[in-house]
Structure 1
Amino acid sequence: MKFGTSGLRGLATALAGQAARRYVLAFLEHARRKGELGDGRVFIGRDLRPSSPAIAEDCAMAVVAAGLVPVDCGALPTPALALHAMAEGGAALMVTGSHIPADRNGLKFYLPSGEISKADEEGILACLDERGVPDRPVRMADASAEAAARYLARCAGLLPEGQLAGWRIGIFEHSSVARDSLGLVLRAAGAETIGLGRSGHFVPVDTEAFGDALFAPLPGWLDQYGLDAVVSADGDGDRPLLMDGSGQFVRGDVLGLIAARYLGADSVVTPVTSNSGLERSGFFAHVIRTRVGSPHVIAAMAAAPDAVIGFEANGGTLVGRNIRLDGRALPELATRDAMLPLLCVLGAAARRGQGIAELVAGLPLQAALADRLQNVPDARSAVFLGRLADDPAYAEALFAPHGIAELVRIDGMQFRTGAGEMVHFRASGNAPELRCYVEAATPEAARALLDWGLATAAREMGLPPPGPRA
């Protein structure tokens, strides 16, 4: 088990049972030492992967062992759990592996004040010990209806009633815990929705890996059902996915940018992997860059001036202070949310009387793509990235076809070329993967650059070349 970019992750078999109980006890002890246990209730939610219900029971046993009260919020999006727990003044535990495969799972921890920080992760590890929690039946109060209703009310407030009248939107439901919420909110705003691709088994949807074969049906659905867009979210509903009416995916950082404009942000906080056009756009008074991971974004949001929105390159969007929409204050929710950026983008397009493709085309951004090499041991990624960092001659030789004009080391290795293109390699914090992000002047150049980056990294790490990508 290890902490990644957001939460604890590992094999489901390694987390289930005593491991989950020990980490929950450590979290609660850390919260106790900080004086942040709230009213003693601990709200527990989960995603739809098969191992999550049993691990949620493990969490409840640990909560009882700590002398606290577990409250069941059922299967719901991570931001819905966080919103409800913070409103009720309690801590929260989300059982989810997010977008990673079903054989893995994880825990996300929330204090009554919100998502834990990197310093909190260290505090949890410091409190971790070998104490076991015996098996015992636990009866929990059921707050699933209240938590779902609170989240839906917040989302519905982002769009005036009827704003999406005339829109026909497909929902790629797969196994996302947000699939039903998406339909309810979109229909409340006047859209006609069609549920597509619903699955009874867990599907690991990575919303940044547009080349994945599981996305192949989406363009056909647009034509088959006459759709204006297809929307979706990852397993726990904190990363959005959107395909516009022309069959093009809209990158997560573009969704975040449009959402920040729609919500009137003065300051934007986002990782170094988000599109460099943010600074060039002039839309925001401040653009603050961080490492990848919501804890880093949240920490920087706390110090950002004025009305602040945070988002990651995966599109998960966080609401900071002083945000108002149509004259109403939007309460803070500094945890990633998939629903919010999707609704803001649809609302912005409807407000302008544009399609999504037309809205995106008007933004001053370079073409950008991202994908990853899967099943890459962390040690191999570390050797490759270390050599790029420590051996300038090696890096220059590797990038000889492009040239290196600038190097950024905030998270992984990001190279700017003499032609103004970008290639960024970083190891995933959530799974054994090496991620590659690129920017170029045209979509065709970005595709060629991404193919080159993935093939080059695979060759240098002694891996098979990546297969064909969409």
Structure 2
Amino acid sequence: MRKIFGTDGARGIANIEITPEISLRIGVAIGKLFYGNGPILIGEDTRLSSEMLRLALATGIISASTDVTIGFIMPTPAVSLLLRIMKNFSAGCVVSASHNPIEFNGIKIFDKNGFKLSDENEEYIEELMESNIERSPVNIGRVFYDENIRDFYVDYIAGRFPLNLSNLKIALDLANGSTYYTTPQTLKKLTAQIFPINDKPDGHRINVECGSTHPQVISRHTVNSGAHIGISHDGDGDRVILSDETGRIVDGDDIMVILGRHFKKKGLLKNNTIVGTVMTNLAIENILKSEGINFKRAPVGDRYVLQEMLKSGAILGGEQSGHIINLLESVTGDGLITALSVLEVMVEEQKPLSKLVEGLERFPQILVNAKVKDKDVINDEKFKQFVREMEKELKTGRIIIRSSGTEPVIRIMVEGDNEIKIRDIANRIKEYLEV
């Protein structure tokens, strides 16, 4: 059997790579793994294929004598947080492909403390999927349905951020995804005036020309609605990209600086350290270091950021994509928590978002994707030599080449002091890979 789990759970093209049969087998395996420790909570995103995979997953779990609670559509981080605060679940699963296109889907698994499963546990699940698990004809798990469990998440988050937002207009792009209910409801509880778009999911339009992977949408919507801030989620709500009132896009790098400065001022920035990734703009690292904040880099992927945070004793880390982990509030990226954390800074410091990002200039950075059939091409010695030649030509800057953990693409990042040169080099590397 091919390896099922990648850098962020099991993910692939729905009904072809991630089939109901595979979902069923994953369900049997995790039902066996967590048997006797309590029910398993399942959430899902708004893709048409999510219900199909959730039904198969739940069937597998109950066939392994473990109960299931179906929470229906909710953000991925809501499942993680509910596991931590409710304490009656043995694990949680989310059927989602996050920011990926509509044809993809996947399954993420969390332990009872809200952490994504370790590589070792995922490997064990794959072993169980290949084994002949003994099942009982009479000891069958049951399925329970709780459509209101996401309100528990909303109430908890609103309680953690008791802000008066009555003077703020907030533009929202909900990506036709899992946050279509939770983010507006939370902001309404905090008396904000909201202007949502892409908030009526139909199963087909999640992430389609909207959400955090299309930041120009929230930029335009923020300006057009006269809002003080724009909030743009991805399909499953673990990311957020912001827009200030002028339409400037505020990404994860900016957000780490905003929150890092604020936490340091309040004495909350443990070990005076922030964790980014190899993709974090070099200018951001220089800004943080100039302000006495240590900066560490991890490989791309929230699990690697979290690993480095725990190793370094940091409470704040994240990615340029808007995946921010704030251990004061959660153990995984939560777009709503991140947005509220920035709103808290705006309220407490009485500054518009444009002032909070003032002076946060970047080195020009180009990101391109090369579609490939074999992602191992980046290990080819001829390709490595080609990249070394490009680095010599670049002189000042960085070239980062990595394979996507969730899509059949190679991601190319070129950073330097000359935008024309870095764009040319990025495109030449892309052309080399796609030949």
TM-score, normalized by the shorter chain, greater than 0.5: yes
TM-score range for the pair, normalised by the shorter chain length = 0.7 to 0.9
Match of 1:290 among 279, 295, 298: 298
Q: Deviations over 1:430-469 (max 9, x none)?
A: 112222334456xxx55x4663344122221235xxxxxx
1:429-444 alignment, distance < 5 Å: 429-440=405-416
1:455 aligns with 2:427: yes
1:334 aligns with 2:331: yes
1:312 aligns with 2:314: no
Residues 179 and 288 of structure 1, relative CA distance in 2, 3 Å threshold: same
Tell me if the contact between 1:256 and 1:316 (Cα under 8 Å) persists in the aligned partners: no
Q: What's the CA shift for 1:73?
A: 0.9
**Residue 148 of structure 2 aligns with which residue?**
145
**Residue 97 of structure 2 aligns with which residue?**
97
Tell me the secondary structure at the aligned position of residue 332 of structure 2. Answer: strand
What is the distance in 2 between the residues matched to 1:16 and 1:79? 24
Tell me if the contact between 1:269 and 1:288 (Cα under 8 Å) persists in the aligned partners: yes
Residues 438 and 169 of structure 1, relative CA distance in 2, 3 Å threshold: farther
1:8-157 alignment, distance < 5 Å: 8-13=10-15, 14-29=17-32, 31-32=33-34, 39-87=37-85, 88-90=87-89, 91-113=91-113, 114-129=115-130, 140-146=143-149, 148-157=150-159
Tell me the secondary structure at the aligned position of residue 193 of structure 1. Answer: strand
Tell me if the contact between 1:92 and 1:110 (Cα under 8 Å) persists in the aligned partners: yes
Residues 8 and 268 of structure 1, relative CA distance in 2, 3 Å threshold: same
Q: Deviations over 1:37-80 (max 9, x none)?
A: 57320111100000001111111111111110011111000111
What is the distance in 1 between the residues matched to 2:59 and 2:156? 31
Q: Which runs of 5+ in 2 are unaligned?
A: none
Q: What's the CA shift for 1:386?
A: 3.7
What is the distance in 2 between the residues matched to 1:143 and 1:203? 23
What is the distance in 1 between the residues matched to 2:210 and 2:279? 15
1:383 aligns with 2:391: no
Tell me if the contact between 2:253 and 2:281 (Cα under 8 Å) persists in the aligned partners: yes
What is the distance in 1 between the residues matched to 2:19 and 2:75? 21
Tell me if the contact between 1:238 and 1:336 (Cα under 8 Å) persists in the aligned partners: yes
Tell me the secondary structure at the aligned position of residue 310 of structure 1. Answer: strand
Residues 131 and 369 of structure 1, relative CA distance in 2, 3 Å threshold: farther
Amino acid at match of 2:42: I
TM-score, normalised to structure 2, is 0.85
1:149-228 alignment, distance < 5 Å: 149-162=151-164, 164-198=165-199, 199-200=201-202, 201-204=204-207, 212=214, 215-228=215-228
Tell me the secondary structure at the aligned position of residue 461 of structure 1. Answer: helix
Amino acid at match of 1:265: L
Q: What's the CA shift for 1:16?
A: 2.7
Moved more, 180-189 or 14-23: 180-189
Q: What's the CA shift for 1:105?
A: 0.6
Q: What's the CA shift for 1:138?
A: 8.4
What is the distance in 2 between the residues matched to 1:95 and 1:172? 21
Q: What's the CA shift for 1:219?
A: 4.0
Tell me if the contact between 1:168 and 1:191 (Cα under 8 Å) persists in the aligned partners: yes
Residues 204 and 221 of structure 1, relative CA distance in 2, 3 Å threshold: closer
Tell me if the contact between 2:4 and 2:10 (Cα under 8 Å) persists in the aligned partners: yes
Moved more, 171-180 or 71-80: 171-180
**Residue 467 of structure 1 aligns with which residue?**
none
Amino acid at match of 1:19: I
Tell me if the contact between 1:251 and 1:315 (Cα under 8 Å) persists in the aligned partners: yes
What is the distance in 2 between the residues matched to 1:423 and 1:125? 35
What is the distance in 1 between the residues matched to 2:210 and 2:348? 26
What is the distance in 2 between the residues matched to 1:355 and 1:68? 50
- The runs of at least 4 aligned residues of structure 1 exceeding 6 Å deviation read 206-209
Identity among equivalent pairs (%): 22
Q: What's the CA shift for 1:233?
A: 0.9
Match of 2:311 among 303, 310, 317: 303
Q: Which runs of 5+ in 1 are unaligned?
A: 324-329, 404-416, 464-470
Tell me if the contact between 2:398 and 2:414 (Cα under 8 Å) persists in the aligned partners: yes
What is the RMSD computed on CA atoms of the aligned residues? 3.0
Q: How many corresponding residue pairs?
A: 415
Tell me the secondary structure at the aligned position of residue 106 of structure 1. Answer: strand
Q: What's the CA shift for 1:292?
A: 1.6
Q: Deviations over 1:269-306 (max 9, x none)?
A: 3322223323641456543322222222232333333x
Q: What's the CA shift for 1:311?
A: 1.9
Q: Deviations over 1:107-134 (max 9, x none)?
A: 0011113211222222222322165999
Tell me if the contact between 1:425 and 1:434 (Cα under 8 Å) persists in the aligned partners: yes
1:427 aligns with 2:403: yes
Match of 2:285 among 274, 278, 283: 278
**Residue 410 of structure 1 aligns with which residue?**
none
Tell me if the contact between 2:387 and 2:429 (Cα under 8 Å) persists in the aligned partners: no
Q: Deviations over 1:214-263 (max 9, x none)?
A: x5544442343212222121111101121222222112232234234444
**Residue 344 of structure 1 aligns with which residue?**
341
What is the distance in 2 between the residues matched to 1:82 and 1:97? 16
Tell me if the contact between 2:368 and 2:430 (Cα under 8 Å) persists in the aligned partners: no
Tell me if the contact between 1:52 and 1:95 (Cα under 8 Å) persists in the aligned partners: yes
Tell me if the contact between 2:277 and 2:298 (Cα under 8 Å) persists in the aligned partners: yes
1:220-259 alignment, distance < 5 Å: 220-259=220-259
1:373 aligns with 2:380: no
Tell me if the contact between 2:173 and 2:210 (Cα under 8 Å) persists in the aligned partners: no
Residues 233 and 205 of structure 1, relative CA distance in 2, 3 Å threshold: farther
Residues 378 and 26 of structure 1, relative CA distance in 2, 3 Å threshold: farther
Amino acid at match of 1:383: V
